[in-house]
């Protein structure tokens, strides 16, 4: 994968997160923090998991550190928003610094019980893939709560890109 395409993919990823966050902010605190009726974790827990996954991978790839954030690290929507904004900036900076050789560098995942050594770009793709899965699940719960999510399709992102100036700091709604 080339760097330009990867940057565009992450721009879409953060667009979709902004769309989701806008819907989440409309929830009451109880709706945000209560477990789902089907026994699934709360929307807050699921969003913290998204942030923790992204944080884990970027810190591992860039700094060689393995850290998985827990809910107590992000106790409020404001703390989640702050961490997500910092992660967006960090990932963009990380991608900006990658050379083509670094994008294709294989990474040993000794902290996971899995074989193989994915390339850096494949791990970055996993961040986006994992988040898309999480957003889908959260959108289902938002609908159940009567708070339909905003559109998150790639075509909506492309349309917005043509008609507005994108920003990097996106959660200031």
DSSP notation for 109-134: -TTSS--S--BHHHHHHHHHHHHHHH
Q: What confidence tens digit (pLDDT) does each residue in 72-100 have?
A: 999 999 999 999 999 999 999 999 999 99
For residue 2, pLDDT over 50 is answered with yes
Q: What confidence tens digit (pLDDT) does each residue in 6-34 have?
A: 999 999 999 999 999 989 999 999 999 99
Give all domains of the chain, ordered by start, each with its CATH number: 3-163 (1.20.120.450)
Q: How far apart are CA 89 and CA 114, in angstroms?
A: 29
> What would the mean pLDDT of 137-147 be, rounded to a whole number?
89
Q: Write down the residue that tokens 């890109």 correspond to.
A: 161
CB 88, CB 168: distance < 8 Å: yes
- Whether the predicted model's global pTM rises above the 0.85 cut: no
CB 87, CB 51: distance < 8 Å: yes
Beta bridge partners of 18: none
Q: Give me 24's structure tokens.
A: 């989440």
Q: Give me 141's structure tokens.
A: 């719960």
Beta bridge partners of 119: 106
Q: Give me 34's structure tokens.
A: 């209560």
């Amino acid at each position: 994968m080339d760097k330009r395409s990867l940057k565009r993919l992450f721009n879409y990823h953060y667009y979709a997160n902004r769309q989701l966050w806008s819907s989440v902010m409309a929830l009451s605190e109880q709706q945000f923090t209560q477990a789902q009726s089907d026994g699934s974790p709360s929307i807050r827990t699921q969003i913290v998991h998204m942030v923790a996954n992204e944080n884990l991978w970027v810190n591992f790839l860039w700094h060689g550190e393995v850290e998985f954030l827990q809910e107590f690290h992000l106790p409020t929507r404001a703390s989640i928003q702050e961490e997500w904004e910092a992660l967006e900036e960090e990932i963009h900076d990380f991608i900006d610094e990658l050379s083509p050789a670094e994008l294709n560098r294989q990474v040993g995942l000794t902290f996971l019980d899995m074989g193989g050594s994915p390339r850096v770009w494949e791990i970055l793709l996993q961040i986006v893939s994992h988040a898309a899965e999480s957003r889908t699940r959260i959108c289902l719960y938002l609908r159940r709560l009567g708070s339909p999510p905003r559109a998150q399709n790639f075509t909506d992102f492309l349309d917005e890109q043509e008609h507005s100036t994108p920003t990097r700091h996106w959660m200031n709604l």
